[in-house]
């Protein structure tokens, strides 16, 4: 079984921080969605396959349309806590967990420290370009869950 992708750092524009499916949906609906996703993946991370009950999170996948300045929710993926921490690398840094997140990024992708730093720098350069604008958030993917 192959993983869904390499592990990547994916900072979001600060104007969209706090806009997530968990806060958009009623708690009962969010719990139903995430528990179904966990079950489908047997409580295993879709990138590194680690996990177990209570050791995974549901991570949102976003696309960014630079023309309309819209951040659109396009999917969700089950991740272990360590892979999820890497996706939110900026938060990991703020929490004093940069070294741990970087080590995990290196391990999962088979990268050297230099390769990991290059990826992290590149991700934050892309973030800096996004962060110059005020973004709209499109969560129409969740419309079917609100019924």
- pLDDT tens-digit readout, 23-71: 999 999 999 999 999 999 999 999 999 988 889 999 999 999 999 999 9
Chain mean pLDDT for the chain: 92
Helices (H), 5-76: 21-24, 27-40
Measure Cα distances from 138 to 47, 54, 86 in Å: 25, 29, 24
Q: Which domain holds residue 50?
A: 14-139
Q: Is residue 145 part of a domain?
A: no
Q: Is residue 72 part of a domain?
A: yes
What number is the average pLDDT over the span 71-81?
96
pLDDT band at 1 (very low <50, low <70, confident <90, very high): very low
Domain count, the chain: 1
Q: Is residue 7 part of a domain?
A: no
Q: Is residue 40 part of a domain?
A: yes
Q: Is residue 1 part of a domain?
A: no
Q: Is residue 2 part of a domain?
A: no
Q: Is residue 81 part of a domain?
A: yes
Residue 2 reports pLDDT greater than 60: no
Q: What is the reported pTM? A: 0.90
The whole-angstrom separation of Cα 85 and Cα 89 is 6
């Amino acid at each position: 079984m192959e993983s869904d992708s390499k592990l990547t750092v994916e900072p979001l524009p600060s104007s969209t921080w706090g806009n997530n499916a968990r806060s958009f949906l009623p708690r009962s609906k969010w719990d139903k969605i995430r528990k179904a996703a966990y079950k489908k993946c047997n409580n295993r991370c879709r990138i590194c396959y680690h996990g177990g009950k209570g050791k995974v999170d549901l991570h949102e996948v976003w696309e960014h349309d630079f023309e309309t300045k819209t951040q659109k929710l396009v999917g969700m993926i089950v991740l272990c806590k360590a892979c999820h921490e890497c996706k939110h690398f900026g938060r990991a840094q703020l929490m004093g967990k940069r070294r741990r997140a970087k080590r995990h990024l290196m391990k999962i992708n088979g990268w050297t420290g230099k390769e990991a730093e290059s990826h992290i720098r590149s991700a934050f350069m892309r973030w800096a370009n996004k962060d110059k604008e005020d973004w709209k958030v499109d969560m129409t993917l969740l419309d079917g869950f609100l019924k």
